[in-house]
Amino acid sequence: MLAYWRRAIEEFPCSPHAPGVRALAVYPLDWNQTATMEDHFLDGGSAEEAFQLAQEFLHSDCAYEARMTWDLWLPKSEDPSDGWERKPQGVSLVCLGTQFGREGEAESGHLEINFGPDAHFLPPEPWDLDPEEKQEAMEGPQLLENIDKLVSYARLLEKSLPVAQRRLWSESGNDLPNQILSLWEMES
């Protein structure tokens, strides 16, 4: 699985302002444990460097997390008239060992990617937009670019890795794909 994790890191569309792996951590047993190893790469480490470091701690009961950044459009403020700005945002690419204790094990995979808050792909809540304004925001270039970046990366991984299943999950517990599609008045 670490080789697939390395491939996911290699394919990731990093921010040119913060390229490469920014941090690496290895967690033993489950997420409640303190990391066995943590390393930070000020200039951004390569996928190969992360892979080599992770291999030193190769155990079936470990999780390996690489933190990276990509550029997404975010609102400048709570006022819609201020518009948008592109900023580097954190992403976590995790490889889970087969014996690593995890929550919701039936729904977990061996490679998990946390793309950040679902708010990065939906109209900003503080803007308090009516339904028509929300749809206009969804059709604008900023959110379309954010969504396209996420979908393009997922498709790239499907082509380069043996993906058995995929699931887009949101920390809010809401169905993010359906939220996005409903704003375009589409069905999934």
Assign 187 a pLDDT band (cuts: 50, 70, 90): very low
Which position has the higher pLDDT, 176 or 77? 77
Assign 119 a pLDDT band (cuts: 50, 70, 90): confident
Segment 64-101, tens digit of pLDDT: 999 999 999 999 988 888 889 999 999 999 999 888 88
Residue that is written with structure tokens 């977990």 in the block: 108
DSSP state of 82: G
**Beta strands per DSSP E along 6-83:** 21-28, 37-45, 62-75
Average pLDDT over residues 157-175: 76
Which position has the higher pLDDT, 173 or 130? 130
**Beta strands per DSSP E along 46-132:** 62-75, 84-96, 111-114
Residue 122 has pLDDT above 90, yes or no: no
Which position has the higher pLDDT, 107 or 167? 167
pLDDT score recorded for residue 188 = 39
Quickly count: other Cβ atoms within 10 Å of residue 85's Cβ.
Answer: 12
